[in-house]
Amino acid sequence: MAAFIPAPALAWRRPAGAHAGRAARPPCSVPRAPPSRLARRPSGGGGATATPPRPTVMAADGGATTTPTPVRVAILGASGYTGAELLRLLSSHPHTSIVALSGERSAGSPMGSVFPHLAFGPPGGFVQSLPDLTTTAEVVAVAQAGAVDVVFCCLPHATTQTIIAQLPLDKVRVVDLSADFRLRDVDTYAAWYGAPHAAVELQGQAVYGLTELARDAVRGARLVANPGCYPTSAQLPLVPLLSAGLISPADIIVDAKSGVTGAGRAAKVGTLFCEAADGMSAYGVAAHRHAPEIEQGLSDAAGAPVDVVFTPHLVPLARGILSTMYVKLAAGVTADDLRARLAAVYDEEPFVHVLPAGAAPPHTRHVRGSNHAVMAVVADRVAGRAILVCVIDNIVKGASGQAIQNMNVMCGFPEMDGLGATPVFP
């Protein structure tokens, strides 16, 4: 946990050597099949792509060890916000090479034509070497042929299950950014998502990847269910407090606000500029699908069923989540005890930060574009209660950034690889 510094966007930088990541392990996969033709055509036109540089992995003592072949990455659903954010972040990752991208409606198009901010870069660089978008079926075939090591799945809920079931999980590691493998109970999944689960046999293999709280399980996983954005912002502060018995599992309220990117890139009336700007609104009241995901994590922490009151709101900003949580303190516990517990749990974490007593509450712009989560604890004016505030970037720590963090753990890379960017401010 970094010490508080008044300049908000710079407060979360760690000194050199401070938990930059655990010692590197061998990459996800060493054998290499012939490269897919999908990786040979750069977005800018014809010609062969430049060979990605071979990264140097650093040993725990700081000495260079090996120069493994970069891990080959495919992204299913790369034409959405989370897919584009994966590419933005992976552009600075030293151990990955993008070999395949899917986008059904944009198949055959260069990535830069779908997201213009991914159209620029030096010849032979990351952006110019991106493969053109293709179909999901073709990317699956490439994975089945042994030409992919890691698959990020950014497909819509309820479609991911059948796709992942086709992937050779004995050879490929998968991080799924949809909700399809987050809920352990398939009946709960069916009740909230409106259809039976289509890959029940894989459900038991999936590891819920809230990285800071599930690192050991993620390390050995072949399939990681990346947490939702709201559940990430709620569970990071609440789980350690419930597991320590410092707060009551009853009457927990999670009041959350999200930027419009949380609704995805598809055109919807409610996210048009004139509909979303200059105001805010609650949605999914008492019926949002992230509620059972939050309750699953909190129940595990408490050792007994936990029900929460969860209400999300749409606010007129592109990215960011601010979750305010209202809790009852256990007998004899103070807000200072909550803060001390969170500080102890996250003290060595590079991405999660607990503000000291008296600091101004965190703002979404303090984490914009970064994988950081910043939280504060305040004693309520009502005796026996406390208020928690947590901010994240919904498409970084709430989606693509946490997915890369999970990949880093799965592959034995330092966790900050690809995720070391300072938040964008103002």
Number of Cβ within a 10 Å radius of residue 289: 17
Q: Which residue has the higher pLDDT, 55 or 239?
A: 239
- The CATH number assigned to the domain holding 29 equals 3.40.50.720
Q: What are the residue numbers of the active site? A: 229
- Say if residue 84 is in the same domain as residue 187: yes
Sheet holding 373-379: strands in order across?
A: 281-282, 308-314, 252-258, 321-328, 385-392, 373-379, 352-354
Does residue 112 contact residue 363 with C-beta atoms inside 8 Å? no
Q: Which residue has the higher pLDDT, 267 or 229?
A: 229
Confidence check: pLDDT of 122 > 70: yes
Give which of 391, 379, 297, 275 is closest to 334, Cα–Cα: 379
1 found inside a domain = no
359 found inside a domain = yes
Domain count, the chain: 2
- Say if residue 144 is in the same domain as residue 157: yes
Token pair in block for residue 375 = 């939280």
Does residue 149 contact residue 169 with C-beta atoms inside 8 Å? no
- Say if residue 326 is in the same domain as residue 388: yes
- The CATH number assigned to the domain holding 313 equals 3.30.360.10
Question: pTM value?
Answer: 0.86
- Say if residue 178 is in the same domain as residue 236: no
Measured between alpha carbons, how far is 368 from 317 in angstroms, rounded to an integer? 11
Confidence check: pLDDT of 274 > 90: no
The pLDDT value given to residue 417: 98
Q: Which of 137-141, 174-178, 214-218, 280-284 has the lowest mean pLDDT?
A: 280-284
Average pLDDT over residues 182-200: 94
Average pLDDT over residues 378-396: 98
Give which of 241, 218, 285 is closest to 375, Cα–Cα: 241
- pLDDT over 90 percentage in the chain: 75
419 found inside a domain = no
Confidence check: pLDDT of 178 > 60: yes
Q: Which of 48-57, 148-157, 255-264 has the lowest mean pLDDT?
A: 48-57
pLDDT band at 389 (very low <50, low <70, confident <90, very high): very high
Q: How many degrees, rounded to 5, is the angle at CA 326 between CA 321 and CA 330?
A: 135
348 found inside a domain = yes
Give pLDDT tens digits for 17-38: 444 444 444 456 544 433 343 4
Q: Which of 13-27, 127-141, 205-219 has the lowest mean pLDDT?
A: 13-27
Average pLDDT over residues 143-164: 95
404 found inside a domain = yes
Q: How confident is the prediction for the chain on average, in pLDDT?
A: 87
User: What are residue 252's DSSP bridge partners?
Assistant: 308
- Say if residue 202 is in the same domain as residue 302: no
Does residue 345 contact residue 238 with C-beta atoms inside 8 Å? no
Give which of 136, 59, 173, 84 is closest to 406, Cα–Cα: 173
- Say if residue 141 is in the same domain as residue 78: yes
The pLDDT value given to residue 68: 65
Average pLDDT over residues 312-320: 94
134 found inside a domain = yes
- Say if residue 177 is in the same domain as residue 266: no
Measured between alpha carbons, how far is 309 from 288 in angstroms, rounded to an integer? 11
The pLDDT value given to residue 85: 97
Average pLDDT over residues 216-230: 97
The pLDDT value given to residue 124: 83
The pLDDT value given to residue 26: 46
Average pLDDT over residues 402-419: 98
The pLDDT value given to residue 65: 45
pLDDT band at 11 (very low <50, low <70, confident <90, very high): low
- Say if residue 158 is in the same domain as residue 278: no
Confidence check: pLDDT of 49 > 80: no
Residue with tokens 């059948």: 162
The pLDDT value given to residue 22: 45
Average pLDDT over residues 114-141: 92
- Say if residue 234 is in the same domain as residue 223: no
- Say if residue 220 is in the same domain as residue 249: no
pLDDT band at 426 (very low <50, low <70, confident <90, very high): confident
Q: Which residue has the higher pLDDT, 133 or 25?
A: 133
The pLDDT value given to residue 3: 42
Q: Which domain holds residue 190?
A: 8-227+398-411
Confidence check: pLDDT of 50 > 50: no
